[in-house]
Amino acid sequence: MASQSKVYHAVGKRKTSIARVYMQAGQGEITINGKAAKNYFPKLYTESLQLPLNIAGSKTTFDIRINVMGGGSSSQADACKFGISKALCLHDASNRPALKKAMLLTRDSRVVERKKYGHKKARKSFQFSKR
């Protein structure tokens, strides 16, 4: 029986998306919900997933499996990127300063404001007619 490499687990969140990231030694494949990253996201978002790996200098040393749910493709990609950054810090604490400087370890807490009663949206009102 071969020795298993350590699996690093981290959770990334953005808006209403939650990404569970599992990172272990491998050939550099990124799998999202059972699909290759390039088939799951458009090219723009696939490149943003590589950013934490490029900064940490470990692009081809890890296989990454991600389970992501909720939100749209943009927020899912950002949640994945945040989760990968956290997993890289768990692997090696020396990655932390570079990732922090690139602002990849900061949770973007902006979410959609809730709709208010008597309004069309959160702040927009219905058209007012005086007469």
- What are the extents of the domains in the chain? 8-101
Distances from the Cα of 10 to the Cαs of 2, 14, 48, 123, 125, in angstroms? 25, 14, 18, 36, 41
| Model confidence pLDDT, tens digit, residues 90-102 | 999 999 999 999 9
| Model confidence pLDDT, tens digit, residues 44-77 | 999 999 999 999 987 778 999 999 999 999 999 9
Confidence of residue 131 (pLDDT cuts 50, 70, 90): confident
What are the two backbone dihedrals, phi and then psi, of residue 67, each rounded to the nearest 5 degrees? -110, 120
Confidence of residue 3 (pLDDT cuts 50, 70, 90): low
DSSP state of 27: S
| Model confidence pLDDT, tens digit, residues 28-38 | 899 999 999 99
Q: Which positions ≥6 away from 39 have C-beta within 8 Å? A: none
The confidence score (pLDDT) of residue 1 equals: 46
Query: Could you tell me the pTM of the whole model?
Result: 0.89
When pLDDT is averaged across residues 18-36 and rounded to a whole number, the result is 94
79 close to 17: Cβ distance less than 8 angstroms: yes
Residue 108: closest CA among 16, 3, 41, 5: 16
Residue 10: closest CA among 96, 71, 73, 74: 96
- CATH number, span 8-101: 3.30.230.10
Of 2-16, 70-84, 96-110, where does mean pLDDT reach its minimum? Answer: 2-16
Neighbours of 17 (CB within 10 A): 21
Beta strands across the sheet bearing 8-14: 8-14, 17-25, 62-69, 30-32, 35-36
